[in-house]
């Protein structure tokens, strides 16, 4: 029997799941993570140019270059350890 047939209500299990402390904690953490990412994306270039006095395009290129090298190194180590 499903929950609707037993209780006569359509969404009792969904409500219990959403009201559980674990799901509420996950929702709060997801909101905080998204808010932090949005703040970083919107205020990051302003901070780099006004506070650190660096050119945003140069910093972005260096960041891309260094992260690409690190990612290639990690892929090389992964493939080497897998075989």
User: What is the per-residue pLDDT across 31-66, written as a single tens digit (0 to 9) for each?
Assistant: 999 999 999 888 988 888 899 888 888 888 888 888
**Residue percentage of the chain with pLDDT more than 70:** 84
Same domain, 26 and 62: no
> Domain check: are 39 and 61 in the same one?
no
> Is the Cβ–Cβ distance between 21 and 10 less than 8 Å?
no
Instruction: State the pLDDT at residue 12.
Output: 73
pTM for this structure? 0.52
Identify the band that residue 3 occupies on the pLDDT scale cut at 50, 70 and 90: low
Co-location of 21 and 47 in the same domain: yes
Do 40 and 77 share a structural domain?
A: no
Pinpoint the alpha helices (H) of the chain: 3-7, 12-18, 21-50, 56-82
Q: How far apart are CA 15 and CA 7, in angstroms?
A: 13
Mean predicted confidence (pLDDT) in 10-23: 84
Cβ-proximal residues to 10 (8 Å cutoff; 6+ apart), any chain: 4
Per the structure, the complete domain to which residue 70 belongs is given by 55-83
């Amino acid at each position: 029997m499903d929950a609707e047939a037993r209780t006569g209500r359509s969404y009792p299990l969904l409500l219990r799941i959403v009201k559980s402390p674990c799901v509420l904690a996950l929702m709060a953490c997801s909101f905080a993570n998204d808010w932090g990412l949005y703040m970083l994306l919107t205020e990051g270039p302003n901070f780099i140019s006004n506070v650190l006095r660096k050119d945003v395009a140069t910093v972005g290129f260096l960041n891309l270059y260094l992260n690409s090298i690190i990612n290639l190194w990690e892929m090389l180590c992964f493939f080497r350890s897998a075989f």
